[in-house]
Amino acid sequence: MMNYQSVPTVVCFNKEELSDDEYKESLRKKYEGCGCECIFISAKNNSGIEKVRDILNGKTTVLAGPSGVGKSTLTNLLIPGMEDEQEVSQTGEVSRIGRGRHTTRHSEIYNVCKDTYICDTPGFTSLNLPEVEKEDLRFYFEEFNPFEGKCRFNGCMHVSEPGCAVKQAVEDGVINYDRYKSYTDIFEEIKNKKKY
């Protein structure tokens, strides 16, 4: 979605110390065709933070993601001189209803270093795509691009049409199945929303 709007995007998986190599590999495989770099970090163990600094350097970056993934924890780590002081950005456990005590409630921008800014934002619990038409959704999945125009039908939406090159690529293991499943799930969601 971000790439589609020409916003350079990095997918950052935090809390890597809680994951095994196998799971990390499956995530890497899932997102390798999506057109974004994927990195694995742990704000808790301070691993991968230098990589994050390299990526942020000289840019203004927005941290976006579900509630509780550690956006504010990472922000606090990146702000100079704050290691031993009171936290800049509030962090905390997320309660069962998904809105924890220290959950971030407003977006705030922080200076990391010269010309480098980071914006911590409130986490989301679901993704709302009001402006995306189901006919356009396929263009948001970069890994489908090489197969666009190769299906039997013009304007194939890669869902139930016969002779679909994207579905063939999924069967051949060229397109990640989970990503394709996300596509069809979101496609159905948009379709049903439009109906009512």
User: Comparing C-alpha atoms, which of 167, 162, 163 is closest to residue 138?
Assistant: 167
| Helix H or strand E segment including 119 | strand 116-120
Query: In the bound complex, what is the minimum distance in angstroms from residue 137's beta carbon to Zn ion?
Result: 12
CA 176 to chain centroid = 16
3-state helix, strand, coil in the chain (%, to 5): 35, 15, 50
Contact region for Zn ion (CB under 5 A) — 33-41, 66-74, 106-114, 158-166? 158-166
Question: CB nearest ligand GTP: which residue?
Answer: 123
Where does this chain touch Mg ion (CB under 5 A) — which range of 35-43, 45-53, 101-109, 130-138?
Answer: 101-109
Q: What is the rounded distance in angstroms from the CA atom of residue 8 to the CA atom of residue 72?
A: 21
* Chain-centroid distance, C-alpha 66: 9
Rounded Cα–Cα distance for residues 50 and 53 (Å): 5
Q: Does 134 bind Zn ion (CB under 5 A)?
A: no
Minimum CB separation of residue 148 from Zn ion in Å reads 8
Which of helix, strand or coil describes residue 122? coil
Q: Which does 15 bind (CB under 5 to 8 A by kind): Zn ion, Mg ion, ligand GTP, none?
A: ligand GTP
x/- map, 160-179, Zn ion, by CB under 5 A? ----x-x-------------
Side chain identity, residue 79: I
Our finding on whether 15 is near ligand GTP (CB under 6 A) is yes
Restricted to residues 26-45, the positions that interact with ligand GTP (CB under 6 A) are 42-44
Q: Is 158 in the site for Zn ion (CB under 5 A)?
A: yes
Could you say whether residue 79 binds Zn ion (CB under 5 A)? no
Residues that bind Mg ion (CB under 5 A): 71-72, 104
**Contact positions toward Zn ion, by CB under 5 A?**
151, 156, 158, 164, 166
